[in-house]
Amino acid sequence: MAEQKKMVDEITSMDVDFAKWYTDVVKKAELASYSNVRGCMVIRPYGTALWENIRNELDRRFKETGHENVMMPLFIPESLLQKEKDHVEGFAPEVAWITHGGSEKLTERLCVRPTSETLFCDHYSEIIHSYRDLPKLYNQWCSVVRWEKTTRPFLRTMEFFWQEGHTMHETAQEAIEETKRMLNVYSDFAEKHLAIPVVKGLKTDKEKFAGAESTYTIEALMHDGKALQSGTSHYFGDGFSKAFDIEFTGRDNKIQYPHQTSWGMSSRIIGAIIMTHGDDNGLVLPPAVAPVQIVILPIAMHKEGVLDKANEIAQKLSKDFRVKVDDSDNSAGWKFAEYEMKGVPLRLEIGPKDIANNQCVLVRRDNREKTFVSLDELETKIPELLQDVQNGLYEKALNRREEMTYSVTNLDEMIENAENRPGFIKAMWCGELACEEKLKEVAGVTSRCIPFEQEKIAETCVCCGKPAKHMLYWGKAY
């Protein structure tokens, strides 16, 4: 592997100040800028292109599983939000209210949607009447607003972008299967497209979504050892159906309530990409979602034929890849640093000597390995290299997670690990809320999930010493 010399001085080293490093990357790589609206950001073209690639792949997967896109209103009448008690209580501190329309005070306050369960349920009450109307497999792409006190670009903003799936099913079994199926869609997408290894599991009752019977999650570990909840899928049972009078005539000709799910992945996943793969020079983007997969840099561009050859190569490659030719008059060194910072997976250099030898130089962003490739072999070599980058990023992230995952068996070990070893902590739990709250108080960790793949680390709860029911992943989180 080539020596990793720092090329971008404007970016703070992550070992010096991880939070500053993150903000520097977001701004310098032109993913987003701060706006004059508190807690909101301007997602710039490069960040938007990254989100579009994420959105397009997820949308394709949703449609393959039978889901249809819809668009719901931005506003929710207060009376509608109040229909499901647990749900409204869970979101009350984060709700933004509209009290006036023009100069007139509204007779009923409107909430700017923090999520859309109530809107979907109100609609479903009008269109679901028979078992023949089920299932309803809907999804929408939109932004939502949550009145956050502390914000950071992509990770936690007052307005953020996401998709929210909302489905209705004839039976509880079908709904639970849907909940797990969509969690698997998220985990497969995260690992294969974003090269982010995730832990799949069930949230505790304390951490589950407001109004849900159960919440499933994928949890990823960031470079600094903090966890990031990267996608969630919720089973609601028939609670919302009863609150909104959604009834249907079943196959037995009896009136029944449908069973509901919702699931979402948001633009905070861009923060996960940054903090999983990035380095001191900026972004390192997985080829599957990178806005530019290959940047072509003509060397000694002023010499005859160089730019023409670069454009010829670009035209050939652009049939299968996202390609950019940088024909600006910036220096080669500036261009190297610029695309290093923007995380472009492959850099293709072509100059007069390369043309004479019918070759070019390919440089990988993840490890800076250089390869001389015949121009006749580009169309076969580039897919191999891009896949190598994709696989390499996943393996590197997985190895880091394994190195930063610890097992503890008692409270002293938990406190010591939480204080001195950033990462996931695996420990047994009795299932009691009191122990979960005590671990947050004395060790500063929250339960991340009850993983589907259980291990028996000890017989007793890490906190109270009583018989354990589950092994949990614990950690500090964004």
Q: What is the pTM of this model?
A: 0.94
Q: Which amino acid is at 75?
A: F
pLDDT tens across 130-166, in order?
A: 999 999 999 999 999 999 989 999 999 999 999 999 9
Q: Which amino acid is at 237?
A: G
The domain segmentation of the chain, as residue ranges, is 18-277, 294-390, 405-475
Residue 88 has pLDDT above 80, yes or no: no
Residue whose pair of structure tokens reads 């449609």 in the numeric block: 63
Average pLDDT estimate for 244-258? 97
Average pLDDT estimate for 2-30? 85
Average pLDDT estimate for 294-317? 95
> How far does CA 276 lie from the centroid of its chain?
11
The fraction of the chain above a pLDDT of 70, given in percent, is 98
pLDDT of residue 4: 55
pLDDT of residue 269: 98
pLDDT of residue 466: 97
Angle between helices 411-420 and 433-443 (to 10 degrees): 40
Cα–Cα distances in angstroms (integers) from residue 363 to residues 25, 109, 133, 286, 469, in the given order? 21, 57, 54, 15, 50
The fraction of the chain above a pLDDT of 90, given in percent, is 94
- Contact status, residue 408 vs residue 421, Cβ threshold 8 Å: no
pLDDT of residue 83: 86
d(CA 233, CA 203): 10
pLDDT of residue 3: 46
Which CATH code is given to the segment(s) 405-475?
A: 3.30.110.30
d(CA 389, CA 367): 9
Q: Return mean pLDDT, the chain.
A: 96
pLDDT of residue 187: 98
Q: Check residues 1 and 211 and name the one with the higher pLDDT.
A: 211
Residue 369 has pLDDT above 60, yes or no: yes
Domains 294-390 and 405-475 share a fold: no
Average pLDDT estimate for 75-88? 85
Of the pLDDT bands very low, low, confident and very high (cuts 50, 70, 90), residue 309 is very high
Lookup: tokens for 91? 């979101």
Q: Check residues 42 and 4 and name the one with the higher pLDDT.
A: 42
pLDDT of residue 271: 98
Of the pLDDT bands very low, low, confident and very high (cuts 50, 70, 90), residue 8 is low
β-pairing, 214-221 with 424-429?
Answer: unpaired
pLDDT tens across 424-460, in order?
A: 999 999 999 999 999 999 999 999 999 999 999 999 9
Task: Please state the CATH superfamily assignment of the domain spanning residues 294-390 in this structure.
Answer: Anticodon-binding domain (3.40.50.800)
d(CA 117, CA 144): 12
- Contact status, residue 282 vs residue 11, Cβ threshold 8 Å: yes
pLDDT tens across 389-434, in order?
A: 999 999 999 999 999 999 999 999 999 999 999 999 999 999 999 9
Task: Please state the CATH superfamily assignment of the domain spanning residues 18-277 in this structure.
Answer: Bira Bifunctional Protein; Domain 2 (3.30.930.10)
Query: Which contacts qualify for 298-301: CB closer than 8 Å, 24 or more apart?
Result: 298/325, 298/326, 298/327, 298/350, 298/351, 299/332, 299/349, 299/350, 299/351, 299/352, 299/354, 300/351, 300/352, 301/327
Q: Pick from 359, 356, 290, 357: which is nearest to 324 by CA?
A: 290
pLDDT of residue 168: 98
3-state SS, residue 304: coil
pLDDT of residue 1: 41
Residue 2 has pLDDT above 50, yes or no: no
Residue 195 has pLDDT above 70, yes or no: yes
